Amino acid sequence: MLLSSSKGYKVINNWLRKKGYKPFLFQQQTWQHIIDGRSGLVNAPTGTGKTFSVFLGALIQFINAHPDNYLSKQKNGLQLLWITPLRALAKDIGRAMEEVIGELELQWKVGIRNGDTSISDRQKQKRQMPEVLIITPESLHLLLAQKGYPDVVKDLKIIAVDEWHELIGGKRGVQVELAICRIVGLKRAGLTDDSWQMTDDGVKESKTVKEKTAANSQLSAINFCIWGISATIGNLSQAAEVLLASLFQLSDSTPLFKTNKGTEEQKSLKEISPVIVRANLHKRLIIDSILPDEIEKYPWAGHLGIKLAQKILPILEKSKTTLIFINTRGMSEQWYQTLLNIAPELSGVIALHHGSIENELRGWVEDALHEGKLKAVVCTASLDLGVDFRPVETVIQVGSPKGVARFLQRAGRSGHSPDAVSKIYFLPTHSLELIEAAALKSAVEKTIIESREPLALCYDVLTQYLCTLAVSEGFTPAKIFKEVTSTFCFQHLTDKDWNEILRFITVGGTALQQYDEYKKVEVEDGVYKIKSRRVAMRHRMHIGTIVSDAMIKVKFMTGGYIGVIEEYFISRLEPGDTFTLAGRQLELIIIKDMTVLVKKSSAKKSIVPSWLGGRLPLSQSLGKLLREKLNEAGDQVINGVVSNDIELEVLHPLFALQQNLSHIPNANELLIEQIETSDGFHLFVYPFEGRLVHEAMAALLAYRISKTTPITFSIAMNDYGFELLSDQPIPVDDTNVYKLFSPDDLLLDIQRSVNATEMAKRKFRDIAVIGGLIFQGFPGEYKKQRHLQASAGLLFNVFNEYEPNNVLLRQAYQEVFDQQMEEVRLRDMLNRIQASKIILTYPQRLTPFCFPIKVDSMRENLTSEKLADRVKRMQQSLYK
């Protein structure tokens, strides 16, 4: 059907025209695809009407299907399932949708389903599903854990997955994949099975062949489709494939999609492949660096950048509202304090926002942002996503954003009024970081952006999913295996592993037969079910893949909730100690019942909590760009070619010193510096591949060197390079250096060099929680369940010793290789190094390149104050 001639389009277009809007091209394209019943991915930045591309498409489709009574038709059952990663987004999207429905005078209802939805609302939804349900991946699985879920999706036409780029790289993405494969499975079953029908009255009746065929043709008229909505990522077409994998599984005999008004015969492979609709809307972006006055005096190492705090005051002054992005929660607390100290007049108009601050307070900050009451907000990744705050005109990024995508995402939070320009300032926390600003600029110019790699074979999520199905309707393995293996994540799932997971949830691995009472999933007539109500309830409580560290609530003695803090941090404090949270100085009084009771403190000094959240490594694309920028820097120093980048110009003295003492590597060189200091013999290597790869590479190199000479090392690394330190000369020279960086025997050498057990133990915690091995207790029932508490570390030890082949345990080791050591990236790097020139230098003193790494390794033993002094002294001695 042609979009422009359809009734629905006319209705929607009229409405838009009345409001003075004109649909974007990409929106119209999406609408056309939706009424054609095709599935795909919309690629559009936030704030460009991406919601309407799919939502209005759903309305058009509905109006087309009911051209005569679309205004009066109600109780249509669930039509559009809207999956969003953020709870906070649900409300705003819901409101926007309701507005449209209201103005069009449709009888549709919009429901929200997430952790905040009240039980009465859930019951209401159960009785009569709203036409649109906005849901998080977790709540979607909870829906699948409900008896009768197939009825919920029987009228479903469209699944929309919002912010798919945020979901795809993580386990929540796997959850979405699994939920989709189930719904698609149900839809397929509806086409071929008698047991499940698509009749409106829901009455089950046996059908004659004739009736069945009739039903089938009726069904094929239903345009069931799946649409993802994603910001730009490097692997957009892969993202589409992952999302739609189960839909496009060609082996199945009953394809769900309908082709462009063509017959079955005309269906070519091209037609049924996923569509990607690109918005191609370019928003102007200005990137500026905040430059220190004298580069020689700006610290060469550091994480905080507080020294430049004065410089951001005029920026705050100039713009209506500014978001200041800080990489970690701990540092954001420090920045907030500093800003208040240097500009007391800001108190009341600046706020702090991070993931550990109490919800209500965060809500208040967000509301105040909307209303334009705040001049500035110091925030972390907690404000990366979400609805647009129109008053925000400027964004400041403090420290490396570690990746192009994140930087753009943050920049995009500013300048939302039509035709406004996004403005982002980059504030370096140490001198060398300024190159990153230059690299980010060229990334934006060349539109280089990172990929988000989808995960494979997450046994923990699968285990949870199978239990979810067992809680509600039960499942038959043959059918579900077929569905699960149609997803991207589990396409290579073997029969052996599948059976092991089934064994794990039914008999609990190895056991002492007659003395065992393991009870979880039971098999009855081939159907796998959880029958115990208690086990079922416990499972429902634990659906989800976000595992946070054990958090403790922080409350005032007098009442009043402040936020949460990691148990790890608080366990090191004594009563009377002062710490900072949510921008307040708090004195610890007592820890009671998983709550920290505190009072306000006026102490001058306080401890800033460190949240153990992952320190993200530098992305591969950004690393590559950095190496290219060094090319230019080298050119500038050696050949006097003046760079276009102000950052490189400013850094000139630093680079000149680097070249003078050692060398500036160009993009196809690897620099290795060997320096002798009073600490011992240092070997610095600069691959620019991010700290995780460096960590693994350092261990690998240490191991390979120690194979020829007995030698002890200590290791340090940052995102640019790593250091090996020894008390004896390190035998690396041009005779053996290529061999030391060889990709041969990589896996074997890694296994021998890295304490993989320790690393796997850390990974196992999340897996154990997701896989249902750790029971965190019912809310408010903490004490009763103590007999079922076991720490992840203990479980890891027990499994490692007694059931080493357990799937979840194997997954922990696999995750160490894939994620902790980024094995693929490590191998790529070694191959690159083999093809490049390795430059060995022997500088007389520490160089600007090695300085930050050296300081990082001293950090452990020194307080930050002393460290700052020492950095200053070291730096002075270097400039002599």
Positions 681 through 720 that interact with another protein (CB under 8 A)? 695, 699, 702-703, 706-707, 710-717
614 binds another protein (CB under 8 A): yes
Q: Shortest approach of another protein to residue 612 CB, angstroms? A: 6
Q: Shortest approach of another protein to residue 501 CB, angstroms? A: 11
Among 510, 644, 668, 877, binds another protein (CB under 8 A): 510
Q: Shortest approach of another protein to residue 774 CB, angstroms? A: 8
CB 327 within 8 A of CB 719: no
Residue 339 or residue 795: which is nearer to another protein going by CB? 795
Distance CA 139, CA 52 (A): 23
Dihedral sign of CA atoms 433, 376, 385, 29 in order? negative
Query: What interhelical angle do 171-192 and 137-144 show, nearest 10?
Result: 40
Q: Shortest approach of another protein to residue 362 CB, angstroms? A: 24
Q: Shortest approach of another protein to residue 791 CB, angstroms? A: 5
The secondary structure of residue 738, as a DSSP letter, is H
The secondary structure of residue 455, as a DSSP letter, is P
Q: Please name which of 744, 738, 759 lies closest in space to residue 696, comparing C-alpha atoms.
A: 759
Q: Shortest approach of another protein to residue 756 CB, angstroms? A: 9
Among 99, 105, 194, 516, binds another protein (CB under 8 A): 516
Q: Shortest approach of another protein to residue 832 CB, angstroms? A: 24
Residue 604 or residue 787: which is nearer to another protein going by CB? 787
Q: Shortest approach of another protein to residue 175 CB, angstroms? A: 21
Q: Please name which of 773, 789, 817, 674 lies closest in space to residue 732, comparing C-alpha atoms.
A: 674
By CB under 8 A, the residues from 776 to 835 that bind another protein are 786-795, 798-799, 801-803, 806
Residue 144 or residue 792: which is nearer to another protein going by CB? 792
Q: Please name which of 391, 396, 394, 388 lies closest in space to residue 88, comparing C-alpha atoms.
A: 388
**Of 184-192, 331-339, 563-571, 574-582: span binding another protein (CB under 8 A):** 563-571
Measured between alpha carbons, how far is residue 394 from residues 49, 62, 413, 418, 625 in Å? 22, 41, 8, 15, 25
**Of 46-54, 198-206, 250-258, 515-523: span binding another protein (CB under 8 A):** 515-523
Residue 237 or residue 755: which is nearer to another protein going by CB? 755
Find where tokens 């005051």 sit: 313
Residue 643 or residue 800: which is nearer to another protein going by CB? 800
By CB under 8 A, the residues from 432 to 451 that bind another protein are none
Q: Shortest approach of another protein to residue 809 CB, angstroms? A: 10
The secondary structure of residue 49, as a DSSP letter, is S
What's the helix, strand, coil split of the chain in %, to 5? Answer: 45, 15, 40
Q: Which amino acid is at 694?
A: H
CB 551 within 8 A of CB 609: no
Residue 380 or residue 422: which is nearer to another protein going by CB? 380
**Of 115-123, 503-511, 556-564, 650-658: span binding another protein (CB under 8 A):** 503-511
Residue 500 or residue 635: which is nearer to another protein going by CB? 500
By CB under 8 A, the residues from 635 to 674 that bind another protein are none
**Of 121-129, 425-433, 506-514, 624-632: span binding another protein (CB under 8 A):** 506-514
Q: Shortest approach of another protein to residue 567 CB, angstroms? A: 6
By CB under 8 A, the residues from 526 to 555 that bind another protein are 532, 534-535, 538-539, 549-550
**Of 107-115, 303-311, 396-404, 501-509: span binding another protein (CB under 8 A):** 501-509
Distance CA 517, CA 651 (A): 68
Work out the burial of residue 371: count CB atoms within 10 Å of its CB; fewer than 13 is exposed, 13-18 middle, 19 or more buried.
exposed
Residue 266 or residue 755: which is nearer to another protein going by CB? 755
Residue 265 or residue 517: which is nearer to another protein going by CB? 517
Residue 270 or residue 533: which is nearer to another protein going by CB? 533
By CB under 8 A, the residues from 848 to 867 that bind another protein are 856-857, 860
Find where tokens 């550091």 sit: 302
CB 529 within 8 A of CB 479: no
By CB under 8 A, the residues from 378 to 417 that bind another protein are none
Residue 212 or residue 762: which is nearer to another protein going by CB? 762
Give, in degrees to the nearest 5, the angle at Cα 108 between 103 and 112: 105
User: 350-353 and 422-427: which strand pairing?
Assistant: unpaired
Q: Shortest approach of another protein to residue 610 CB, angstroms? A: 8
By CB under 8 A, the residues from 186 to 215 that bind another protein are none
Dihedral sign of CA atoms 99, 100, 106, 109 in order? negative
Give, in degrees to the nearest 5, the angle at Cα 42 between 41 and 46: 135
Residue 90 or residue 552: which is nearer to another protein going by CB? 552
Residue 518 or residue 738: which is nearer to another protein going by CB? 518
How many residues sit in the footprint of another protein (CB under 8 A)?
A: 73
By CB under 8 A, the residues from 98 to 157 that bind another protein are none
Q: Please name which of 375, 337, 373, 333 lies closest in space to residue 353, comparing C-alpha atoms.
A: 333
Residue 204 or residue 784: which is nearer to another protein going by CB? 784
Q: Shortest approach of another protein to residue 579 CB, angstroms? A: 17
Residue 89 or residue 730: which is nearer to another protein going by CB? 730
Q: Please state the separation of Cα 687 from the chain's center in Å.
A: 25
**Of 24-32, 288-296, 612-620, 866-874: span binding another protein (CB under 8 A):** 612-620
Q: Please name which of 270, 388, 362, 374 lies closest in space to residue 321, comparing C-alpha atoms.
A: 374
**Both tokens assigned to 150:** 């197939």
Give, in degrees to the nearest 5, the angle at Cα 496 between 490 and 502: 80
Residue 456 or residue 547: which is nearer to another protein going by CB? 547
Distance CA 215, CA 329 (A): 57
By CB under 8 A, the residues from 738 to 777 that bind another protein are 752-755, 757-758, 762, 765, 772-775
Work out the burial of residue 376: count CB atoms within 10 Å of its CB; fewer than 13 is exposed, 13-18 middle, 19 or more buried.
buried
**Both tokens assigned to 353:** 């926002």
Q: Please name which of 846, 88, 798 lies closest in space to residue 509, comparing C-alpha atoms.
A: 798
Residue 491 or residue 776: which is nearer to another protein going by CB? 776
By CB under 8 A, the residues from 340 to 359 that bind another protein are none
Q: Shortest approach of another protein to residue 535 CB, angstroms? A: 5
Distance CA 691, CA 174 (A): 26
Return the SS3 of 352: strand
Q: Shortest approach of another protein to residue 544 CB, angstroms? A: 17
CB 690 within 8 A of CB 618: yes
By CB under 8 A, the residues from 564 to 603 that bind another protein are 567-568, 571, 594
By CB under 8 A, the residues from 65 to 94 that bind another protein are none
- Region of 688 (left: φ > 0; alpha: ψ -120 to 50; beta: rest) is left
Q: Shortest approach of another protein to residue 435 CB, angstroms? A: 23
* Residues near 8 by beta carbon (within 8 Å), at least 6 away in sequence: 35, 59, 60, 61, 62, 63, 64, 67
Distance CA 857, CA 206 (A): 73
Distance CA 439, CA 622 (A): 7
Q: Shortest approach of another protein to residue 732 CB, angstroms? A: 15
CB 399 within 8 A of CB 428: yes
Among 508, 653, 680, 743, binds another protein (CB under 8 A): 508
Q: Shortest approach of another protein to residue 802 CB, angstroms? A: 4
Residue 518 or residue 879: which is nearer to another protein going by CB? 518
* Residues near 791 by beta carbon (within 8 Å), at least 6 away in sequence: none
Q: Shortest approach of another protein to residue 189 CB, angstroms? A: 29
